[in-house]
């Protein structure tokens, strides 16, 4: 009876916090494969219905739990003095995210989100939800001033190439390592960006 009364008193932000904390602890204890809505609700001392009112599946609740309890993942504008290092620094946060979650969880999230919101995964995890164009534009303008690229010769498809390659790599490999990131920048993105100098 006391437990039922405690459940009734929880609502709003307090209840949401408890649910997300339960989801995060369940994930850390059991891993993504064994993470279930039943397990989360039992740990939170509530019902599955309460969870489903807020989140449609375990992938969505884990993403929200990561935002609350995991390390902060923000892709922000930077200025290291050269475009290559700017790109690697800006694109590093997703690799940190995957290191924390682990390969099994990343692959599970992808499997559960494909055909739904996979291309919104980075936005869901980012706190500010800033578009990649906003983040990369200052670095490209600085690179243009240094003569590394000609920004006016680059169309939006080329500018979006880094984030497209990140998503493609995650979808194909189920993971994104620092080595993958450096290869994407050195072998694909930088040649595409510096090609603007030849136009």
Distances (CA, A) of 114 to 77, 107, 131, 157: 29, 10, 21, 22
Higher pLDDT, 6 or 133: 133
User: What is the residue extent of each domain of the chain?
Assistant: 2-69, 83-198
pLDDT at 114: 57
* Structure confidence at residue 172 (pLDDT): 81
Q: How far is residue 121 from each of residues 26, 60, 65, 86, 163, measured CA to CA in Å?
A: 21, 10, 14, 22, 12
- How does pLDDT run across 33-53, given as a tens digit for each residue? 999 999 999 999 999 999 999
Return contacts of 128-137, CB within 8 angstroms, 24+ apart. Answer: 128/74, 130/75, 132/75, 132/160, 132/162, 132/163, 133/159, 133/160, 134/77, 135/75, 135/76, 135/77, 135/90, 136/77, 136/87, 136/90, 136/162, 137/77
Q: pLDDT tens digit string along 110-156?
A: 777 654 555 555 554 444 444 677 889 999 999 999 999 999 999 98
What would the pLDDT profile of 7-20 be if each residue is shown by its tens digit?
Answer: 456 678 899 999 99
What whole-number distance in Å separates Cα of residue 194 and Cα of residue 199? 10
Give which of 18, 82, 84, 79 is closest to 46, Cα–Cα: 18
Q: What is the mean pLDDT of the segment spanning 176-192?
A: 94
**Reported pTM:** 0.68
CATH code: domain 2-69 is 1.10.10.60
**54-92, pLDDT tens digit by residue?**
999 898 899 889 889 987 766 778 899 999 999 999 888
How far is 107 from 23, CA to CA, in rounded Å? Answer: 18
pLDDT of 167 reads 80
Mean pLDDT of the chain: 84
């Amino acid at each position: 009876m006391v437990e039922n009364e405690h459940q009734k008193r929880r609502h709003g932000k307090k209840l949401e916090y408890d649910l997300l904390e339960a989801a995060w602890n369940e994930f850390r204890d059991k891993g993504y494969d064994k993470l279930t809505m039943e397990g989360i609700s039992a740990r939170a001392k509530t019902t599955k219905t309460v969870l489903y009112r807020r989140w449609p599946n375990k992938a969505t609740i884990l993403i929200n739990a990561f935002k609350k309890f995991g390390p902060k993942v923000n892709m922000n504008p930077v200025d290291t003095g050269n475009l290559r290092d700017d790109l690697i620094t800006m694109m590093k946060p997703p690799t940190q995210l995957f290191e924390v979650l682990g390969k099994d969880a990343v692959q599970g999230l992808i499997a559960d989100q494909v055909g739904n919101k996979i291309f919104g995964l980075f936005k869901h995890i980012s706190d500010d939800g800033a578009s990649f164009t906003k983040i990369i534009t200052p670095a490209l303008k600085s690179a243009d001033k240094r003569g590394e690229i000609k920004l006016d010769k680059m169309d939006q498809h080329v500018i979006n190439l880094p984030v497209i390659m990140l998503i493609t790599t995650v979808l194909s490999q189920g993971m994104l390592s620092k080595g993958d990131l450096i290869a994407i920048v050195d072998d694909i993105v930088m040649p595409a960006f510096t090609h603007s100098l030849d136009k």
